[in-house]
Structure 1
Amino acid sequence: MARGKTSTDPAELEKLEWPYDWPPPWRNDRLVGHDAAERAMLAAHRSGHLHHAWLITGPRGIGKATLAWRFARYLLAGGQGGLFGATSDSLDVATDAPGRALIDARTHPDLFHLRRTLDPKADRIRAEIAVGDVRALGEFMHMTPAMGEWRVAIVDPADEMNSAAANAILKILEEPPPNSVLLIVAHAPGRLLPTIRSRCRRLALSPLSDETVVRLLGDYAPAVEREEAEALADLADGSIGRALELANAGSLALYSEMVEVLTTLPDLDMARLHGFAERFARRGEEANADWRSLNYLLDGWLKDLARRAALGGEGTAVVPAERGLQARLLAAASLDRWIEAWEKIAYLLSRADAVNLDRKQTVLVSFLALQSAMR
């Protein structure tokens, strides 16, 4: 869309918000690997003492938002049971249940989805959840339910609230309206205000098994070969969302190139390193996807190296060139040196976009920091 020409078409707005090929949580009817969490929510509803706020936590991309939307559907369209309602032992709601289509379209009058909204001046989604959006949520929560018993709000993710928005959420939690449920999704709950955490019932979800990630990749990205899916599962650390993003960006090839450079340590092959770093000097959406992938892959690789230095053992070789690499590097430098290098690189990568650092130079300096750790 051209600047200043923001479309009001819901499909175009949703594409800005969810630029992926797989279903968004509000239309994803499938949740795998979190049966215990579903049972806890179902039991809470049946008890007649449903907590007014739930904090659903766990790593990004494992199904937290999907669980929140399943519970919202259950409360708004299925919780009463009956012909169109939920089944007796799950949060499943029939596709033809009254109100179900409105929930999936996010137009149900008793549903509020708090997330980053469109900045019409920039034609893009805002970087934070703004306090104005939380004020609108507060007004919504105090209204009388229009179609049933409950009013339900989903905050996804709470990590993206600015400080003013977080304080506004706290006010809602301090005086919860009757017949309302607030479902708060958080990737890093430790960053939330302690007073927010203390007023919620915590539901912590665990990463998915590699086997589950591989199976889901087969469903959502059938073009990915089994061997590649297994490698992506290793890299994704139990997150199907992350695995799909990596697959979509062709990140396995990027990881292989990164490892090829790492194998030349401590005497870095500077020609190879410059060639690798050059790809990040480009601009555009494809280059941005590569950059995001590198941030995740290099940080994850360094975390695993530090973990192996502390606990011993050899990590999984995702690509053939990786075999024996960790053992060789760990024999060349102490744990303190590797942690120091990891912290320096994490800071560089996090600051690169914040202060518009040259990406190619950032990559070069990051790999040179690894070389310094070994000398």
Structure 2
Amino acid sequence: MSRAPRAPKEQVFAEDPDQAVRAMPDLFGHVAAAETLQRAALSGRLPHAWMLAGPPGIGKATLGYRFGRWLLAGGAEGSVPLGSTPLNLDPQHTTFRRIAAGAHADLRALRPNTGEKGGVKLVIRVEDVRDAIRFLAMTPAEGGWRFVLVDGAEMLRPEAANALLKTLEEPPPRAVLVLTTAAPDRLLPTIRSRVRRLDLSPLDAAVLDPLLGRLLPELNATERATLGRIAEGSAGQAVALAEGEGLALQALVDQALGELGDRRNWHRIADAVAAKRDGSGFATFIALLRRAISSAVRQAARGQGAPGWLGERPLAEWSTLWDSLGRLAAETDVLSLDRKQAVLTALLWLSPSRR
């Protein structure tokens, strides 16, 4: 008696975290930086290495990919019509579509990703960099340029950074390297001195709101405005906050700061913050708390007005408290301390009774 054929095993494909970035057709902010890149390419004297620096989540990699696909499509040679925005390439262009699919032979991207043991790899390894260096040294497959994007260059391991430095010192012809970083001071001074740096600023509300409308269509205008405010001009941070219950946690931060000294709701707040077993709620709560404090202190220092709770203590004490909250979060994570108790400790520090 023959057996029934087995059903084929379901294939599970790894999520591609870069796909949405590679496929973004529009330029949100950073017009001046895009114009600088385009001008340099059209001049015929294109620097071989660039650094796009700025806070996390503001579109550094998006701009890097935009530059790469325009360059590989022949933009520097005048093969791409100049559009109303710099580095523009029609989404139907074959180069755009292939890069969006991660299938262009002359573009490679390095970014921290999942490590060999299943954990989060917080570094870019030397093996990956050496592979990218060999890639840059090859003749372009399509006769134009070779392009490498290193996203999160501050996470290069020391030996990886040194390997990259050799390529920066002796760049191959018709090859472009773009580094993105949220912490340029963590890069080797010798690397910083051999790249052309473009500093990107957080997106203002007029630019960020329509972008969040596209990325987070399920939220209403008030929720998007709140996320934009607490994300301080970072679309990536706003999306992360939305996915991590950032609006609810911000409401708890507002309540805690608005009720300084009133202990009746402390345990309810602490329970809500510590509810997620992975600790993400606690990390976000402390980050939002510190962000609220630093923002209020900056407002007061500029004479722009500040929330009433800031007057509960001198500005210098708020700065010290900001540092203490950062250490509390780090110790709680590293030592696996009780998160609810850590929240209660933070609320006690906030209380004016500590003065």
TM-score, scaled to structure 2: 0.88
Give the secondary-structure state (helix, strand or coil) at the position aligned to 1:38. Answer: helix
User: Counterpart in 1 of 2:157?
Assistant: 162
Q: In 2, Cα distance between the equivalents of 1:48 and 1:373?
A: 65
Equivalent of 2:147, from 130, 145, 152? 152
Quick one: distance in 1 between partners of 2:245 and 2:309? 28
Match 2:137 to one of 123, 142, 147: 142
Q: Kindly provide the CA deviation profile for residues 266-300 of structure 1, in whole angstroms up to 9, marking residues without a partner as x.
A: x241x422221223434456x52x23422431121
In the TM superposition, residue 244 of structure 1 has moved relative to its aligned partner by: 2.1
2:322 & 2:113 partners in 1: Cα distance?
34
How is 1:300-319 mapped onto 2 (pairs within 5 angstroms)? 300-315=291-306
- Number of residues paired by the alignment? 345
Aligned-partner Cα distance in 2 for 1:59–1:373: 35
1:45 aligns with 2:41: yes
SS in 2 for 1:262: helix
- Correspondence for 1:3: none
Is this contact kept in 1: 2:108–2:132, CA < 8 A? yes
1:226 and 2:217 equivalent?
A: no
The 1:136/1:367 distance shift into structure 2, 3 A limit, reads: same
CA distance in 2, matches of 1:31, 1:65: 12
Which of residues 328, 342, 349 is equivalent to 1:369?
A: 349
| CA shift digits 1:68-114 (9 cap, x unpaired) | 000000111242444xx353563122234343333222232211111
Greater displacement, 198-207 / 43-52: 198-207
CA displacement at 1:309 relative to structure 2: 4.4
2:237 paired residue number: 242
Judge which range, 235-244 or 176-185, deviates more. Answer: 235-244
Deviation at 1:246, TM superposition (A): 2.0
Structure 1 CA distance for aligned equivalents of residues 179 and 222 of structure 2:
36
State the match for 1:318 in structure 2.
Answer: none
- Using a 3 Å threshold, how does the CA distance of structure 1 residues 107 and 185 change in structure 2: closer, same or farther? same
Which residue number corresponds to residue 13 of structure 2? Answer: 12
Q: CA separation in 1, counterparts of 2:169 and 2:143?
A: 24
AA aligned opposite 1:49: R
1:13 aligned partner, one-letter code: A
Kept after mapping to 1: 8 A contact 2:74/2:144: no
Distance 1:94 1:172, change over 3 A: same
2:278 is equivalent to residue 277 of structure 1? no
Distance 1:364 1:146, change over 3 A: same
Contact 2:250 2:288 in 1 (8 A): yes
Deviation at 1:216, TM superposition (A): 1.6
Give structure 1 stretches of 5+ with no counterpart. 1-6, 316-325
- Selected match of 1:256 from 243, 251, 259: 251
Distance change (3 Å), C-alpha of 1:147 and 1:351: farther
Distance, in Å, in 2 between the alignment partners of 1:53 and 1:309 is: 40
d(CA) in 1 for partners of 2:154 and 2:345?
A: 30
Partner of residue 57, structure 2: 61
Tell me the secondary structure at the aligned position of residue 127 of structure 2: helix
Does 2:339 align with 1:339? no
- The alignment's TM-score, normalised by the length of structure 1, stands at 0.84
Aligned to 1:71: 67
Moved more, 351-360 or 222-231: 351-360
Deviations 1:108-128 (A, max 9, x none): 221111111332431x54122
In the alignment, what sits opposite 1:323? none
Greater mean deviation of Cα atoms: 249-258 or 175-184: 249-258
Specify the SS of the correspondent of 1:165.
helix
CA shift at 1:52, angstroms? 0.5
Task: Give the direction of change, closer, same or farther, for the CA distance of 1:362–1:202 in structure 2 (3 Å limit).
Answer: same
For the 8 Å contact 1:129–1:161, the answer to whether it is kept is: yes
Q: 1:52 to 1:295 in 2, by over 3 A?
A: farther
Over residues 205-250 of structure 1, what are the superposed CA-to-partner deviations in whole Å (9 max), with x where a residue is unaligned? Answer: 1111112212222222222111222222211211122222222333
* Code of the aligned partner of 1:121: K
Where does residue 22 of structure 2 map in the other structure?
26
Residues 329, 121 of structure 1: alpha-carbon distance in 2 compared, 3 angstrom cutoff: closer
Task: Summarize the Cα distance change of 1:209–1:147 in structure 2 as closer, same or farther, 3 Å threshold.
Answer: same
Runs of 5+ in structure 2 lacking a partner?
1-8
Secondary structure at 2:197 match in 1: strand
Distance 2:336 2:163 in 1: 31
Deviations 1:313-334 (A, max 9, x none): 424xxxxxxxxxx33432x321
Q: CA deviation at 1:66?
A: 0.6
Hey, what's the Cα distance between the residues in 2 that align with 1:103 and 1:231?
A: 34
How much is the aligned-residue C-alpha RMSD, in angstroms?
A: 2.5
CA pair 241-93 structure 1, distance change in 2 beyond 3 A: same
Do 1:129 and 1:160's aligned partners in 2 also have CA atoms closer than 8 Å? Answer: yes
Note if 1:208 corresponds to 2:203.
yes
Paired with 1:197 and 1:354, the residues of 2 have a C-alpha distance of 32
Question: SS of the residue aligned with 2:50?
Answer: strand
1:130 to partner: Cα distance: 1.6
